[in-house]
Structure 1
Amino acid sequence: MAFLSSFDISASGMSAQRLRMDIASENIANMDTTRTEGGGAYKRKLVSFQSYETRSFQDVLKSARDGRGIASRKAGVRVSAITEDDREMQKVYNPEHPDADEDGYVTLSNVDVLKETVDSMAAYRSYEANVTALNAMKLMAQKALEIGR
């Protein structure tokens, strides 16, 4: 049923936005980290999304055989990549810092708390919009079931 794929779309959007909020939180938590396991300061992480639609030949064949037509498919959004931001790292002169280089400069993270706050707010609003859409679809399904009474 094509109507049920709407639930998949909203659910995948909520999962993707939750991960986006998690990454923004991780960025804020590590903004003062000057030494990581890989060496150097923490680099801001970015989340990339990609839409998807799964519709294999086998699914189409089964749908046609069962008389459901070819509308049976899953669609939504998924995280395609989590990458590191390549923006320039900030250097601050502090020769007493344990992570200072030979010239006395400490490399700081490229995380900007304002950008992370805005990104997490946008992710929250997108999550909220998906919840609203999911609730609207649930209400429509309940009303459709009441028609038969």
Structure 2
Amino acid sequence: MFDPLSAAMSIASSGLKAQSQRLRVVSENVANANSTAQVPGGDPYRRKTITFDAELDRALGASKVQVKSIGVDKSDFKLIHDPSHPAAAEDGYVKLPNVSALVEMADMREATRSYEANLNIIDQARKMVMRTTDLMRRG
């Protein structure tokens, strides 16, 4: 038997899990935004990306979100000229991560809002179940 409240909670919980993983990826990017290579001329931290996909839950008859993959951003590294830096190449340039704090903060805000929306759905479904139970007791 199809239970719409359980379905709503299951769908929202898949959203919570996906946005939680997204927040972890964003946090890792922010934490490594100023990391440089361990060796002269080497590549620094490369920004990670996350991709979502819909997964059909046949028991619920609904689509749930899941993480499809965690990849890397192949955009160019930033370069600064600092011949005294330990990670500087022979030409004196240091490669910096391709992480933009502005982009990461926007991503974090969006993930946080999506996470909160899914929490609200779970809370509303829980309240509906409690209200239904109360009505059945009185009835």
2:83 is matched with: 95
Paired letter, 1:46: T
Paired letter, 1:16: A
1:43 maps to 2:46: yes
1:124 is matched with: 112
Contact 1:92 1:107 in 2 (8 A): yes
C-alpha deviation, 1:147, in angstroms = 2.3
C-alpha deviation, 1:75, in angstroms = 3.8
Paired letter, 2:130: Q
Superposed counterparts of 1:44-123, under 5 Å: 44-55=47-58, 72-73=60-61, 75-123=63-111
Identity of aligned residues (%): 35
Could you list the per-position Cα deviations for residues 77-131 of structure 1 after superposition, in whole angstroms to 9, with x for gaps in the alignment? 1110111011111111111111111111111101001111111011000000001
What do you get for the CA RMSD once the two structures are aligned? 1.7
**Which SS does the other structure have where 2:16 is aligned?**
helix
Consecutive unaligned residues of structure 1, counting only runs of 5 or more, are 60-71
**Which SS does the other structure have where 1:148 is aligned?**
helix
Partners in 2 of 1:124 and 1:137 — Cα distance?
Answer: 20
Partners in 1 of 2:38 and 2:61 — Cα distance?
Answer: 43
Consecutive unaligned residues of structure 2, counting only runs of 5 or more, are none
Contact 1:7 1:134 in 2 (8 A): yes
TM-score, normalised with respect to structure 1: 0.83
TM-score, normalised with respect to structure 2: 0.88
Q: Which runs of 4+ in 1 moved over 2 A?
A: 72-75
Partners in 2 of 1:51 and 1:112 — Cα distance?
Answer: 28
Contact 1:2 1:73 in 2 (8 A): no
Could you list the per-position Cα deviations for residues 9-68 of structure 1 after superposition, in whole angstroms to 9, with x for gaps in the alignment? 11110111111111111101001111269x51111111111111132xxx6xxxxxxxxx
Contact 1:20 1:47 in 2 (8 A): yes
Partners in 2 of 1:120 and 1:17 — Cα distance?
Answer: 9
Cα distance change of structure 1 residues 142 and 108 upon mapping to structure 2, 3 Å threshold: same
Contact 2:47 2:72 in 1 (8 A): yes
Paired letter, 2:73: D
Contact 1:5 1:75 in 2 (8 A): no
Contact 1:53 1:75 in 2 (8 A): yes
Contact 1:44 1:84 in 2 (8 A): yes
